[in-house]
Amino acid sequence: MNNWNLPVKEAVELQKQLSKKIVLKFSSRKINYIAGVDLGYDKKSELGFCSVVIFTFPDLDIFQIYNYHQEVLFPYIPGLLSFREGPIIIKIFEKIIPKPELIIFDGQGIAHQRKLGIASHMGLLLNIPSIGCAKSKLYGKYEEPASEKGSRSYLYDYKDNPIGVVLRTKDNVKPVFISPGHLIGINKSVEIIMKCVTKYRIPEPTRIADIQVAKYKEAILQN
């Protein structure tokens, strides 16, 4: 898909079509490298900034860092985030060698009104297993998990189909919302996220990507 700047109705229709191609099954391939992706924006301009941090897995040592920025054309519309952030992400992944075996996004996978959040959309276009790990719920219903680390409850759509997991990554902190993006299932997504959590609520790949993109943005805007 080359034209990201679609009218809203066309973008919604495209999401419905692409969601039919999502595969929720993980291959048996070994994960050597895992990527965290995060984006930031300059409120005074139309610039968007993206950082992708590649980690070894399961050791979680930083292997490579990639940064990129460009003008953002698509407005912020809930449920259509991938049309705003997708062009930058696709561009930065053209630079990444070797490609990671899995990507974690700060956003949703299939826990989305049309089952095509940023992790699903990008995972499909990049053909890389992907997980959405969001700080808040976009869509669905759930029961609050217990307060202990590792406690979880399923997130369901409004037809009672499971679309993710509400996961307590640390004792007595707010849960995160895990949903598979593409080429991975719900339970495997949770297993990997738990392996990526250290002493913080947010898994290391997206936590470090968030820190990195803030540094990159500041460096660019100061020049």
Q: What is the pLDDT of residue 29?
A: 79
Q: Which two tokens stand for residue 58?
A: 């399961």
User: What's the pLDDT tens digit per position in 68-117?
Assistant: 999 998 999 999 999 999 999 999 999 999 999 999 999 999 999 999 99
- Of the candidates 178, 159, 156, the one whose C-alpha atom is nearest the C-alpha of residue 167 is 178
Q: Nearest 5 degrees, angle CA 132-CA 205-CA 135?
A: 45
Measured CA to CA, the distance from residue 165 to residue 154 in angstroms comes to 4
- As a whole number of angstroms, the distance between CA 29 and CA 212 comes to 28
Output the pLDDT for position 43. 87
What confidence tier does 1 reach under pLDDT thresholds 50, 70, 90? very low
Q: If you classify domain 23-222 with CATH, what class do you get? A: alpha beta
Quick check: 168 and 149 in contact, CB under 8 A?
Answer: yes
